[in-house]
């Protein structure tokens, strides 16, 4: 098999790869210097669309509409753009072996790729119920959502099982977004999760109560405090029932599972330092191996603002870490230096006509403000997190761009607060006046 050699290789063709490519082009790139190798068959795209507009029954999003970098208001990089830049997009190509000492990658088809600088951007994979040996979890029409192929398969079955029953397993953001789009597709939706409320890693009980109430008003049944322990299939092998630990049985034509992900780093096991379940990097996304960088979901990096190290599985960090790594690569080549990554955590989600944003850290005391009545015609509410007398995190549902900017600013500046009661009364205006 032929061997191909590049100055820079990005392994993984997701969000981080798209933003890294744009940054390379901005910084100056010669034709043939950069290759992106991706298991997926399409150029880098904005992955969050897959659980939102991609699954809408009407007015749905389709490629090429959401290629990177439209998600952050940037230029849409079509396959043609990569060609014009002389960037080689090597698609439908899975790397199965990486030899970091020999600076070599091997694909499933036996192609060999050599590089001088490698950016690892392999993202995450979903956790499957089959991983835990859940009975019947390999039945047909049980879906996970990570890549565009997964979404396409789900759309086919949505059409085939019109107006059917859907069970969502998991109450995280994937579960909540999928619950909403399946309802919009006119399915009878039940959501099952073991925790006392949805999105427990971020939401307080008060925040969650709003979303659970809103979903219930839309006709979605929420079953908490139990888990799916088995599935039964019909004669065609298609799922028909979900068995719950508490003994209940739910009928299902489609099951969507969103129980978390894990970073895809097996290729590099034993070759690179790891920390907190990810590939350890510095504030420039350099790993322990010279000329090897890791960005996006796989990177465990110094979170300067909080003086610790973290891994973040959100799209904003995928974009920014990718740009930072390319700036660092170029600066190193030119003998220059750049500032260390100084990231303010930012997550968001959208479902139905709801939209929330969160900035900062969700630790310490909390204060809820605004109207969180799920039956309000235009609910708008938020929460602050307060640690050591300072605001460290802020959440806002239904904010406009100015208000969202204000909560981002407050999470970054961490102003002191007089008292929790005053803060509650001031609510959003506290952030807006800073």
Ligand X SMILES: Cc1cc2nc3c(=O)[nH]c(=O)nc-3n(C[C@H](O)[C@H](O)[C@H](O)COP(=O)(O)OP(=O)(O)OC[C@H]3O[C@@H](n4cnc5c(N)ncnc54)[C@H](O)[C@@H]3O)c2cc1C
Nearest Cα residue to 171 out of 189, 186, 146, 147: 189
- Minimum distance, C-beta of residue 262 to ligand X, in the bound complex (Å): 12
Nearest Cα residue to 327 out of 81, 25, 10: 25
Sites of contact with ligand X (CB under 6 A): 11-17, 37-40, 47-48, 50-51, 94-95, 121-124, 145-147, 174, 264, 267, 296-297, 313-316, 318, 347-349
Characterise 95 by phi-psi region: left (phi > 0), alpha (psi -120 to 50), beta (else): beta
Nearest residue (CB) to ligand X, 17 versus 182: 17
**Which residue, chain included where needed, has tokens 């399409």?**
42
Distance CA 312, CA 173 (A): 14
Nearest residue to ligand X, scored by beta-carbon proximity: 14
Distance CA 382, CA 184 (A): 26
Coil, helix or strand at residue 411: helix
Nearest residue (CB) to ligand X, 124 versus 141: 124
* Two tokens, residue 100: 């970091």
Nearest residue (CB) to ligand X, 121 versus 392: 121
- Minimum distance, C-beta of residue 43 to ligand X, in the bound complex (Å): 10
Nearest residue (CB) to ligand X, 155 versus 233: 155
Nearest residue (CB) to ligand X, 85 versus 349: 349
Nearest Cα residue to 119 out of 150, 135, 98: 98
Nearest residue (CB) to ligand X, 173 versus 369: 173
Alpha helices, DSSP H, located in 170-254: 173-184, 205-217
Q: H or E stretch including 224?
A: strand 221-224
- Minimum distance, C-beta of residue 313 to ligand X, in the bound complex (Å): 5
- Minimum distance, C-beta of residue 126 to ligand X, in the bound complex (Å): 8
- Minimum distance, C-beta of residue 416 to ligand X, in the bound complex (Å): 29
Nearest Cα residue to 217 out of 262, 180, 268, 245: 180
Characterise 285 by phi-psi region: left (phi > 0), alpha (psi -120 to 50), beta (else): left
- Minimum distance, C-beta of residue 362 to ligand X, in the bound complex (Å): 14
Characterise 170 by phi-psi region: left (phi > 0), alpha (psi -120 to 50), beta (else): left
CB-based contact 278:265 (threshold 8 Å):
yes
- Minimum distance, C-beta of residue 225 to ligand X, in the bound complex (Å): 26
- Minimum distance, C-beta of residue 260 to ligand X, in the bound complex (Å): 11
Nearest residue (CB) to ligand X, 11 versus 244: 11
Nearest Cα residue to 125 out of 101, 94, 155, 154: 94
Nearest residue (CB) to ligand X, 9 versus 252: 9
- Minimum distance, C-beta of residue 235 to ligand X, in the bound complex (Å): 32
- Minimum distance, C-beta of residue 349 to ligand X, in the bound complex (Å): 5
Characterise 202 by phi-psi region: left (phi > 0), alpha (psi -120 to 50), beta (else): alpha
Nearest Cα residue to 210 out of 201, 229, 197: 197
Write out the E strands in 130-172.
142-143, 165-169
Nearest residue (CB) to ligand X, 44 versus 427: 44
């Amino acid at each position: 098999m032929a061997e191909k050699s590049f100055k820079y290789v990005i392994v993984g063709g997701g969000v981080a790869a798209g933003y890294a490519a744009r940054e390379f082009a901005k910084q100056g790139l010669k034709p043939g210097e950069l290759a992106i190798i991706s298991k997926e068959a399409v150029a880098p795209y904005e992955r969050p669309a897959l659980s939102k507009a991609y699954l809408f029954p009407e007015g749905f999003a389709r490629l090429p509409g959401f290629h990177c970098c439209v998600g952050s208001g940037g230029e849409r990089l079509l396959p043609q753009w990569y060609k014009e830049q002389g960037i080689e997009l090597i698609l439908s190509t899975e790397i199965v072996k990486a030899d970091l000492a020999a600076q070599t990658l091997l694909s499933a088809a036996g192609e060999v790729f050599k590089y001088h600088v490698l950016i690892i951007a392999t993202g995450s994979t979903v956790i499957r119920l089959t991983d835990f040996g859940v009975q019947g979890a390999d039945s047909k029409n049980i879906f996970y959502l990570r890549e565009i192929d997964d979404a396409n398969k789900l759309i086919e079955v949505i059409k085939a099982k019109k107006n059917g029953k859907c069970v969502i397993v998991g109450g995280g953001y994937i579960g909540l977004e999928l619950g909403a789009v399946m309802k919009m597709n006119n399915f009878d939706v039940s959501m099952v999760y073991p925790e006392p409320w949805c999105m427990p890693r971020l939401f307080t009980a008060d925040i969650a109560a709003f979303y659970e109430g809103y979903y219930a008003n839309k006709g979605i049944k929420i079953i908490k405090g139990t888990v799916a322990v088995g599935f039964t299939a019909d004669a065609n092998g298609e799922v028909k029932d979900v068995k719950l630990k508490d003994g209940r049985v739910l009928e299902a034509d489609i099951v969507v599972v969103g129980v978390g992900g894990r970073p895809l780093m097996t290729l590099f096991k034993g070759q690179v330092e790891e920390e907190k379940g990810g590939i350890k990097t510095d504030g420039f996304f350099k790993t322990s191996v010279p000329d090897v960088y890791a960005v996006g979901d796989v990177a465990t990096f110094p979170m300067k603002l909080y003086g610790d190290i973290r891994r973040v599985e959100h799209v904003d960090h995928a974009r920014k870490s990718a740009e930072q790594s390319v700036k660092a690569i170029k600066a190193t080549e030119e003998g220059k230096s750049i500032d260390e990554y100084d990231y303010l955590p930012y997550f968001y989600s959208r479902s139905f006509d709801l939209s929330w944003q969160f900035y900062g850290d969700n630790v310490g005391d909390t204060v809820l403000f605004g109207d969180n009545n799920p039956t309000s015609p235009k609910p708008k509410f938020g929460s602050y997190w307060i640690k050591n007398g300072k605001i460290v995190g802020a959440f806002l549902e239904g904010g406009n761009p100015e208000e969202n900017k204000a909560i981002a600013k407050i999470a970054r500046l961490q102003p002191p607060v007089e008292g929790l009661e005053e803060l509650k009364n001031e609510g959003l205006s506290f952030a807006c006046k800073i």
